[in-house]
């Protein structure tokens, strides 16, 4: 044992290094493999237009998942992101007659207030995040149905610039993709470069220690849920603009995809571990998967089965990665 | 014991008492602690050791008596008050964040920030790294890597990181530790003892609660014995034997009483 480590066998080390690299970057590898398979399977896949369409479709999910990642790093969960997205889209539809600017501001504020309520329920009433946001998931959707009577609101008088938020382009880049990029950039800054980010990781890993060292845990958590809700509201505005319709069902079940993407990206439900870079890969893996299956005319039901399998594989791999590091 | 007769104590505790309802946890306990000495506080469970140090670290307030730091009488209304007087306390739960490295743990809750591109506030990793290295050099603490997550460290190293965390501010004069070796193996405990010993040479004082008399005799300059809330006596480690301390803990009588004729 000692001898072999004194005279290292090159192949053995290379193999081990390769294994550890693959393990560390499993989500990157998975995406590359998926892209390769996709370009072989369908000649349309690698076209700029198809790629941009995939990205545009994924943009709201990218934004919502960035918020979900921050919440999960703080050792919480937010089941209400889809409903808050729907709530914000509803506000857009209802308030559009008063002007697109007013509608957007109201959607951002309204969504964030729901997030603040989540945060207050969790910190002041000591509800578990699962319970508080489950209640919000149901109640916020209820509000949407009340306000819309369960029917679509078609926005006939919305200005062109509002429609551009969801369907415009800057050169060849869809505007939703640009918005998602800036939201992602902000989330990455927040988590890695700000004091608040350090505190979010600390609370997720060891809330007792964080409290002991004077970190205002309640305030940090309230900010986390408010931020996740703000991101959902931004995604809601994009969805409403893209369709130019406020659908009462928009965003339904999105929380499950956002949690999936976050977990596939290597963020742990145990808190304190992960980041938004991994989540981008998680979202893209799911988006590309769905695109390939569409291009190949395979049923979306198959996609659901595959997504389940991918989550299991991804979480097992990130557990292995975590153990390999410690 | 190297303090001159005229050296003023850094901490003077004068006859402090604390009771909970009818129970007298601490009765008129007094002690002086001088710069650069290690004082061990020993006694049976329930002797009042924890209540005693809680008053010094500001967690509890004494019912009577006074606490003087550098000759000035102080009122500690909170741990923050004690901290600003230069008294830091290591609690039994270390409160380290496992997934953070040494630097991140040391600066948790007091991260340094700088401004990037004139507008963006960002954490100043470089400055915190530099100060971490300075701190570890100052207290002679060697760790495998300051970039290692504390999760991957041994119990003694983790305990050392927790102690180092208390010493980040340079105006610390007294460290209070409640059973710092309790959960550690023999070798790991030795490392913590070495650290305490090296802090003494830097002029820092330590008040340490320990049940392990072997550790106490290794590291302490003086030993304070408590029994039933009373601080019986403070003796020089060099002048006593293991059995003397055991008998003081058991009988609650000061050492001289042993040789003095019974009244």
The mean per-residue pLDDT over the stretch A208-233 comes to 93
Q: Are A235 and B122 in contact (CB under 8 A)?
A: no
A24-57 pLDDT per residue, tens:
777 788 888 888 888 888 787 888 888 888 999 9
What would the mean pLDDT of B13-35 be, rounded to a whole number?
91
How far, CA to CA in Å, does A168 sit from each of A53, A161, A174, A224, B154? 12, 9, 6, 30, 56
For an interface test with A, which of B97, B122, B158 has the most A Cβ atoms less than 10 Å from its Cβ?
B97
Tokens standing for residue A178: 């640009």
Report the alpha-carbon distance of residue A79 to residue A127 in Å, rounded: 14
Distance of alpha carbon B161 from alpha carbon B158, whole angstroms: 5
Q: Token pair for residue B114?
A: 């700088």
The verdict on ipTM greater than 0.85 is no
* Contact call for residues A248 and A90 (beta carbons, < 8 A): yes
Tell if the CB–CB gap between A198 and B149 is shorter than 8 Å: no
- Verify whether the Cβ–Cβ distance B151 to A326 is below 8 Å: yes
Unique residue bearing structure tokens 């007013």: A102
Angle at B206 between CA B72 and CA B235, to 5 degrees: 90
Tell me yes or no: is domain B11-259 CATH 3.40.50.300.
Answer: yes
> Residue A22, CB half-sphere, CA atoms under 13 Å: how many?
8
Q: Any chain A CB within 8 A of the CB of B119?
A: no
Contact A219, A199 (CB under 8 A): no
Element spanning A99, H or E: none
The residues, any chain, with a CB within 8 Å of residue B238's CB and separated by 6 or more, are B1
Most confident segment among A45-59, A130-144, B8-22, B162-176: A130-144
Count of CB atoms within 10 A of residue A154's CB? 13
DSSP state of A260: H
- Specify the pLDDT at position B12: 93
Domain layout of chain B by residue ranges: 11-259
**Which residues in chain B have Cβ-Cβ distances shorter than 8 Å to A215?**
108-109
Per the DSSP assignment, residues forming a β-bridge with B249 are none
Burial of A323 (0-12, 13-18, 19+ CB in 10 A): exposed
**Coil, helix or strand at residue A323:** helix
What is the model's pLDDT at position A284?
Answer: 93
Per residue in B184-235, pLDDT tens?
Answer: 877 788 888 888 998 898 889 999 998 889 889 999 999 999 999 999 999 9
Do residues A73 and A228 make contact, with C-beta atoms less than 8 angstroms apart?
Answer: no
Cβ separation of B95 and A209 shorter than 8 Å? Answer: yes
For the segment A93-110, the average pLDDT, to the nearest whole number, is 96
| A52 burial type by CB count under 10 A (0-12 exposed, 13-18 middle, 19+ buried) | middle
Phi and psi at residue B180, to the nearest 5°:
-70, -20
The SS3 assignment for A77 reads: coil
In the prediction, which pLDDT does B263 show? 41
For the cut 50, the answer to whether the pLDDT of residue A129 exceeds it is yes
pLDDT for residue A171: 87
Contact (CB<8Å) B111/A198: yes
pLDDT the model gives residue A5 = 39
- Among A195, A202, A215, whose Cβ lies nearest the Cβ of B100? A202
Q: Please give the pLDDT value at position B142.
A: 83
Using a CB–CB cut-off of 8 Å, the residues of A that contact B are 189, 193-195, 197-199, 201-202, 205-206, 208-210, 212-215, 272-273, 325-326
Task: Look at A134-143, A185-194, B126-135, B244-253 and tell me which has the smallest mean pLDDT.
Answer: B244-253
Contact yes or no for B98 and A205 at CB 8 A:
yes
CA distance A176 to chain B (A): 25
User: What pLDDT score does A82 carry?
Assistant: 97
Q: In 3D, which of B96, B71, B54 has the Cα closest to residue B207?
A: B54
Q: Is the pLDDT of residue A230 over 80?
A: yes
Beta pairing partners, B16: B29
Whole-number Å distance between alpha carbons of A104 and A83: 17
Q: Find all residues with CB under 8 Å of B12, minimum gap 6, and list them.
A: B31, B32, B33, B67, B68, B69, B71
pLDDT of residue B116: 86
Predicted pLDDT at A291:
86
Cβ of A272 and B97 within 8 Å? yes
**pLDDT of A304 over the 90 cut:** no
Of A21-30, A180-189, B224-233, B247-256, highest mean pLDDT: A180-189
Give me chain A's average pLDDT, please. 89
Q: From the list B93, B108, B113, which residue is nearest A213 (CB)?
A: B108
What DSSP state is assigned to residue A250? T
B144 touching A (Cβ < 8 Å): no
Q: Which residues pair with B176 in a beta bridge?
A: B89, B207
Cα separations (Å) of A303 from A293, A308, A314?
Answer: 7, 9, 16
What would the two tokens of residue A7 be? 């005279």
Q: Could you tell me which of A76, A62, A81 has the C-alpha nearest to residue A230?
A: A81
Q: What is the mean pLDDT of residues A271-280?
A: 93
In this structure, how many other beta carbons lie within 10 angstroms of the beta carbon of residue A241?
A: 25
Distance CA A31, CA A37 (A): 10
Q: What is the pLDDT of residues B114-161, one digit of tens each?
A: 998 888 999 999 999 999 999 998 888 888 888 889 988 888 888 889
Sheet with B205-209, side-by-side order of all strands: B72-74, B64-69, B11-20, B23-33, B230-236, B222-227, B38-42, B205-209, B174-178, B87-90
> Average pLDDT for residues A69-96, to the nearest whole number?
97
Which chain A residue has its CA at the smallest distance from B100's CA? Answer: A202
Structure confidence at residue A12 (pLDDT): 63
Suggest the residue from A186, A207, A212 to mutate for an interface test with chain B (most B CBs closer than 10 A). Answer: A212
Look at residue B258 in the predicted model and tell me its pLDDT. 46
- Any A CB within 8 A of B251 CB: no
Chain A interface, best mutation among B90, B109, B154, by max A CB count within 10 A = B109
Q: Give chain B positions within 8 Å (CB) of A193.
A: 120, 122-123
Cα–Cα dist A258/A275, whole Å: 13
Residues of B in contact with A205 (CB under 8 A): 97-100
- Report the distance separating Cα B206 and Cα B175, nearest Å: 5
**Beta strands B205-209; B38-42: pairing state:** parallel
What is the 3-class SS of chain B, one letter each residue?
A: CCCCCCCCCCEEEEEEEEEECCEEEEEEEEEEECCCCEEEEECCCCCCHHHHHHHHCCCCCCCEEEEEECCEEECCCCHHHHHHCCEEEECCCCCCCCCCEHHHHHCCCCCCEEEECCCEEEECHHHHHHHHHHHHHHCCCCCCCCCCEHHHCCHHHHHHHHHHHHCCCCCCCEEEEECCCCCCCHHHHHHHHHHHHHHHHCCCEEEEECCCHHHHHHHCCEEEEEECCEEEEEEEHHHCCHHHHHHHHHHCCCHHHHHCCCC
Query: What pLDDT, on the 0 to 100 scale, is given for residue B124?
Result: 93
Q: Which of B 79-108 lie inside 8 A of A, CB atoms?
A: 91, 93-100, 104, 108
Q: Would you say B176 and B89 are in contact if contact means Cβ atoms under 8 Å apart?
A: yes
Tell me the pLDDT band of A156, cut-offs 50, 70 and 90. confident
Residue A226 to residue A152: CA distance in whole angstroms: 27
Euclidean distance between CA atoms A168 and A166, whole angstroms: 6
Cα–Cα distance for residue pair A292/A43, rounded to 1 Å: 11
What's the pLDDT at B3? 45
Residue in B with minimal Cα distance to A186: B120
pLDDT of residue A1: 35
Q: How far is B53 from chain A (nearest CA, A)?
A: 18
Average pLDDT over residues A302-324: 81
Bridge partners of residue B121, in order along the sequence: B115
Q: Is the pLDDT of residue B5 over 50?
A: no
């Amino acid at each position: 044992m000692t001898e072999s480590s004194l005279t290292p066998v090159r192949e053995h080390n290379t193999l081990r290094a390769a294994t550890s690299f693959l393990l560390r970057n499993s989500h990157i590898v998975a995406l590359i493999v998926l892209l390769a398979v996709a370009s072989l399977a369908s000649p349309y896949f690698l076209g700029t237009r198809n790629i941009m369409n995939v990205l545009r479709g994924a943009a709201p999910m990218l934004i919502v998942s960035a918020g979900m990642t921050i919440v999960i790093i703080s050792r919480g969960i937010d089941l209400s992101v889809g409903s808050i997205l729907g709530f914000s889209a509803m506000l857009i539809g209802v308030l559009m007659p008063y002007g697109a600017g007013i509608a957007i501001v109201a959607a951002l504020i309204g969504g964030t207030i729901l997030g603040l309520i989540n945060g207050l329920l969790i910190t002041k009433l000591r509800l578990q995040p699962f319970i508080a946001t489950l209640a919000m998931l149901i109640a916020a959707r209820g509000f949407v149905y009340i306000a819309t009577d369960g029917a679509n609101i078609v926005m006939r008088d919305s200005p062109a610039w509002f429609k551009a938020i969801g369907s415009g382009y800057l050169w060849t880049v869809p505007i939703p993709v640009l918005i998602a990029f800036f939201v992602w950039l902000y989330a990455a800054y927040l988590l890695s470069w700000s004091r608040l980010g350090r505190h979010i990781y600390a609370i997720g890993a060891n809330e007792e220690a964080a409290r002991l060292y004077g970190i205002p845990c309640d305030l940090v958590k309230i900010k986390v849920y408010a931020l996740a809700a703000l991101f959902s509201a931004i995604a809601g505005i994009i969805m409403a603009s893209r369709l130019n319709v406020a659908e009462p069902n928009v965003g339904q079940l999105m929380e499950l995809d956002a949690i999936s993407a976050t977990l596939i990206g290597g963020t742990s439900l145990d808190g304190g571990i992960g980041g938004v870079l991994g989540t981008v890969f998680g979202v893209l893996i799911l988006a590309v998967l769905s695109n390939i299956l569409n291009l190949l005319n395979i049923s979306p039901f198959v996609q659901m089965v595959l997504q389940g399998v991918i989550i299991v594989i991804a979480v097992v791999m990130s557990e292995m990665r975590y153990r390999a590091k410690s | 014991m190297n303090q001159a007769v005229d050296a003023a104590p850094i901490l003077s505790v004068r006859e402090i008492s604390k009771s909970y309802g009818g129970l007298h946890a601490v009765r008129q306990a007094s002690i002086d602690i001088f710069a650069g000495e290690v004082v061990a506080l020993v006694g049976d469970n329930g002797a009042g050791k924890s209540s005693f140090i809680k008053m010094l670290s500001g967690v509890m307030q004494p019912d009577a008596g006074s606490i003087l730091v550098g000759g000035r009488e102080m009122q500690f209304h909170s741990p923050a008050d004690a901290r600003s007087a230069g008294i830091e306390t290591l609690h039994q739960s270390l409160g380290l964040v496992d997934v953070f490295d040494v630097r991140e743990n040391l600066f948790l809750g007091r991260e340094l920030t700088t401004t990037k591109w004139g507008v963006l506030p960002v954490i100043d990793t470089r400055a915190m790294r530099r100060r971490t290295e300075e701190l570890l050099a100052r207290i002679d603490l060697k760790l495998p890597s300051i970039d290692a997550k504390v999760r991957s460290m041994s119990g003694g190293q983790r305990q050392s990181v927790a102690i180092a965390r208390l010493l980040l501010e340079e105006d610390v004069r007294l460290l209070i530790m409640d059973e710092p070796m309790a959960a550690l193996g023999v070798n790991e405990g030795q490392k913590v003892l070495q650290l305490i010993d090296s802090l003494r040479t830097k002029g820092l004082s330590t008040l340490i609660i320990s049940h392990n008399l072997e550790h106490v005799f290794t590291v302490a300059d003086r030993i304070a014995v408590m029994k039933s809330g009373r601080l019986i006596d403070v003796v020089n480690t060099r002048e006593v034997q293991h059995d003397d301390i055991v008998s003081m803990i058991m009988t609650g009588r000061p050492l001289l009483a042993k040789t003095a004729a019974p009244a």
